[in-house]
Amino acid sequence: MAHKNKTNYSPYKARQEARHKTGTAPAPQMGRHKRPEVIYELNEANDRLADVFRNHGFDMVNHHQRLQLAQFYRLLMLNQEKENFTRLLKLRDVAIKHFIDSIIISKFTDLQFPLLDVGTGPGFPGIPLKIMYPEQKILLGEGVQRRVEFLKHVRSEMNLKNLDILGRNINKHCVYPVQGAITRAVEDIGNTLGNVLSSLQVGGKVYFMKGPGVDPEIAAAKTTWSEYYKLVQDEAYTLPQTPHERRLVVYQKIKNAPLPEEDEGEDLLLEELSGDEKRRWGSYT
């Protein structure tokens, strides 16, 4: 999930509006989102997830973890018509393109915690990773308020511990220390490296879950950020038993940068954290 488009300009919407003006496209229906044809009950969702994971080589997910993923699937689908969080509405698609896609990187790299999920959206990859690493501290960074409220609802309903939700976009003014940052985002690698520079500690890693055509971003990041980061892993893979190609690109921070001037948004962030969250932040500062 990329940061907000502050210009509110959408090339897709511009093309659609042009088509409407020329009469080549039907008028859009406002306020309606796609809803799943069926939302499976918890036990059936769990059984169906078991079949998908087995067929795609993911027996590493135990029964308790799978049951939690089934619960997360239901929460996502039950809120879909109102919030339009995902275009994936079939359980099999959610299982492969959201759940497996989120947790597969644990097969290729060792994650470092506390781990910040930058631009998590409705919780990817952060919520599936929290389920796989229940004892580790994970932070979800998201700037869209309706998604923030959904994430808080998921945390409460699923009783997820040691999970903090940061209700703002992650940028250079965020200075809370973490040992890892992860993003399954369309945002350019260089932009994200700059946005997490103040939070990530020296020796910490940034994990990018990308598509195959990421080489131009890697080349640009080398030019801009080689003083502060080094590329330590570049792994090409496919989601098992699918044609979907992915790249895991990992950078390690090698040098601190001067801290930015204080940002007013930090006060807002602290106000949004619960008392327990504030105390946990204090243990890391």
- For residue 244, the model assigns a pLDDT of 95
- pLDDT of 126 > 80? The answer is yes
Give the integer Cα–Cα distance in Å for 265 and 252.
27
On whether residue 26 sits in a domain, the answer given is no
Domain count, the chain: 1
Q: Is residue 182 part of a domain?
A: yes
pLDDT bracket for residue 279 (50, 70, 90) = very low
Domain membership flag for residue 215: yes
274 pLDDT band, cuts 50/70/90, is: very low
Q: What DSSP letter does each residue of 176-197 carry, written as one string?
A: --EEEEEE--SS-HHHHHHHTT
Summarize the confidence of residues 156-180 as an average pLDDT. Answer: 94
- Residues of the chain with pLDDT > 70: what percent? 80
- For residues 174 and 71, which has the higher predicted lDDT (pLDDT)? 71
DSSP state of 134: T
Q: Tens digits of per-residue pLDDT, 76-108?
A: 999 987 888 788 889 999 999 999 999 999 999
Answer yes or no: is pLDDT of 265 > 60.
no
Q: Chain-wide mean pLDDT for the chain?
A: 84
User: Does residue 85 lie in a domain region?
Assistant: no
pLDDT in the model for residue 27: 41
Does residue 229 fall inside a structural domain?
yes
Does any domain span residue 258?
yes
Q: State the residue range of the domain holding 260.
A: 108-282
Give pLDDT tens digits for 25-82. Answer: 444 344 456 788 899 999 999 999 999 999 998 888 999 999 999 999 999 999 987 8
Domain membership of residue 23 (yes or no) is no
Beta-sheet strands, E only, within the chain:
115-118, 138-141, 163-166, 178-183, 200-210, 229-238, 245-253
Quote the crossing angle between the two packed helices 63-78 and 42-55, to the nearest 10°: 120
Please give the model's pTM, rounded to 2 decimal places: 0.81
Q: Is residue 68 part of a domain?
A: no
Alpha-carbon 49 to chain mean position: 21
For residue 190, what is the domain's CATH number? 3.40.50.150
Q: Is residue 241 pLDDT above 50, yes or no?
A: yes
Residue 154 DSSP SS3:
helix
Name the band, by pLDDT with cuts 50, 70 and 90, for residue 185: confident
For the cut 80, the answer to whether the pLDDT of residue 3 exceeds it is no
